[in-house]
Amino acid sequence: MTDFKALLRALADGGVEFILVGGVAATVHGSSRLTVDVDAVYRRTRENIDRLVLALTSYRPYLRGAPPGLPFRWDAATIKGGLNFTLTTDVGDVDLLGEITGGGGYDSLVPATVSIRVFGVECRCLTLDKLIEVKRAAGRPKDFEAIAELEAIREERKDRR
Amino acid sequence: MSHDAPSSLDAIIAAYKATLDQSLIRRSLQRTIEERLETLMQLQEFAEELRRAGRAVRVG
């Protein structure tokens, strides 16, 4: 099980600049669909990568689905040398993304975020409109039902106004 | 070809939308973000328990 509280607190308390995207962002906006990991776009500055490394080190990140014993090191050099990381940690699964299809990186996504307060910490989450846009841009069949739900949520919210 | 014409993706999403339970959406929107995330963790736990039970049946 992924402990969303622990992961969000670790990132936020560690001062990591990140944006919630994917299933958890969908939950933030009202989705009832089951998601098992945290998807976050992180800012790829040297300082932020250092903060990201520090924030998650104690949870022992490792490549999800990879055989044990690979020479994977959770450090700034590894993150700088890659972009998107699909990880498992002691508190659950997290996808750390340098960029996403249809949205780009942290700096280009920031204008399309809302600040939320959850589990006692402040973090950024993609807006509902942008989340729908990037899921449509990704065009993955597994997302079609999720897009339908998100669009229905948007319509329901409009009706409530 | 018109760029304004609905794409086949729109048609697929509309088909999924027609099957959605609107009451579930309304109920979810009444919860706070924290409540939704807590529910999600409970759902994960439940799903994991079902998987464990399934494995036990297959092994037994």
Domain positions in chain B are 8-59
d(CA B17, CA A148) in angstroms, rounded, equals 5
d(CA A82, CA A84) in angstroms, rounded, equals 6
Q: What residues of A are in contact with residue B47 (Cβ under 8 Å)?
A: 34
d(CA B26, CA A32) in angstroms, rounded, equals 10
Could you give the 3-state DSSP secondary structure of residue A87?
strand
d(CA A29, CA A127) in angstroms, rounded, equals 8
Q: What residues of A are in contact with residue B29 (Cβ under 8 Å)?
A: 30, 153, 156-157, 160
Distance from CA of B57 to the nearest CA of A (A): 21
Whether the Cβ atoms of residue A112 and residue A91 lie closer than 8 Å to each other: no
Give the β-pairing of A121-126 and A18-21: parallel
- The verdict on a CB contact (< 8 Å) between A32 and B26 is no
Which helix (H) or strand (E) segment holds residue A125: the answer is strand A121-126
Query: The pTM is what?
Result: 0.92
pLDDT band for A44, please (50, 70, 90 cuts).
very high
What would the pLDDT profile of B10-36 be if each residue is shown by its tens digit?
Answer: 999 999 999 999 999 999 999 999 999
Taking domain A4-160, whether its CATH number is 3.30.160 is answered by: no
Best of B12, B17, B32 to substitute, by most chain A Cβ atoms within 10 angstroms, is: B17
**Mean pLDDT rounded to a whole number for chain B:** 88
Which helix (H) or strand (E) segment holds residue A89: the answer is strand A85-89
The mean per-residue pLDDT over the stretch A138-157 comes to 94
Output phi, psi for A44, to 5 deg. -95, 50
Interface confidence: ipTM more than 0.90:
no
Tokens matching residue A14: 């560690």
**What's the pLDDT score for residue A83?**
97
Instruction: Answer yes or no: is pLDDT of B41 > 90.
Output: yes
